[in-house]
Structure 1
Amino acid sequence: MKSLHDDKYLIRDSLFNLVELSLLARMYEEHCTPSAAAGKLSPDSLAQTLLKMKATEKNGQLRVAIYDAEPVGFYWQYQGQVLAKWVQPEHRLEGIEQSLSGNH
């Protein structure tokens, strides 16, 4: 039986292309870093996050939740350690967190 979010959400591994990684790096910087509370994004930090996410392609896992062609969450694991997981608040009650981490 399909769950409610199966029709609305797509959970998949990252494509590791520059556009997607840029969006995910921005989401990470805006919501998962200490500077996020201050509302200031550092271009250097954003660039470092982008490079780290690209390195995940060979040594980790980066999964994306898509809703209406837009990323609404991600799960980032590198060398066995979960670095971050985040889902937009309005999508959190849909079971996205569990699907991203592989715990359905």
Structure 2
Amino acid sequence: MPSLDSDKYFIRDSMYNLVELSLLARFYEEFCVPSATSGSLNKESLSHTLLKMKATEGKGQLRVAIHGTDPVGFHWVYDGKVMATWVMPEHRGQGVEERLAGH
């Protein structure tokens, strides 16, 4: 595995603000759920995911990988269960997934 360039990626806990959570919820719905392959987003499911991510603030962990100024991945644990670890394809294989998961 290539070494992670620490200047390239910054891993942090979510700020739990609406803008960031909206983006992460969209990533989750587009790339992490089985219905994502259909190519259409279910607005009700997206809203539910957004609310659950907000609730994570007191019941779990939501970590975000930042490249430059853009979120490129996340690791989401809710009520003790890993909901998802996802990184944009162009940033995979660089140790980002492992750092998000705390390994």
TM-score normalised to structure 1 length: 0.94
Write the distance in 2 (CA, Å) between the matches of 1:57 and 1:70. 21
Letter paired with 1:47: S
Does residue 100 (structure 1) correspond to residue 100 (structure 2)? The answer is yes
Structure 1 residue 93: Cα displacement: 1.3
The alignment-based identity, stated in percent, is 64
Structure 1 residue runs of 4+, over 4 Å off? none
Which residue is equivalent to 1:90? 90
Deviation digits for residues 65-104 of structure 1 (CA, Å, limit 9, x no counterpart): 001211100000012110111001110111000000100x
Which residue is equivalent to 1:46? 46
More helix by share: 1
Does residue 13 (structure 1) correspond to residue 13 (structure 2)? The answer is yes
Q: Judge conservation of contact 1:74–1:86 (CA < 8 Å) in 2.
A: yes
Secondary structure of the equivalent of 1:6? coil
Q: Judge conservation of contact 1:5–1:95 (CA < 8 Å) in 2.
A: no
Does residue 68 (structure 1) correspond to residue 39 (structure 2)? The answer is no
Write the distance in 2 (CA, Å) between the matches of 1:83 and 1:38. 20
Q: Judge conservation of contact 2:4–2:95 (CA < 8 Å) in 1.
A: no
Q: Judge conservation of contact 2:4–2:96 (CA < 8 Å) in 1.
A: no
Stretches of structure 1 that go unaligned for 5 or more consecutive residues are none
Which residue is equivalent to 1:28? 28
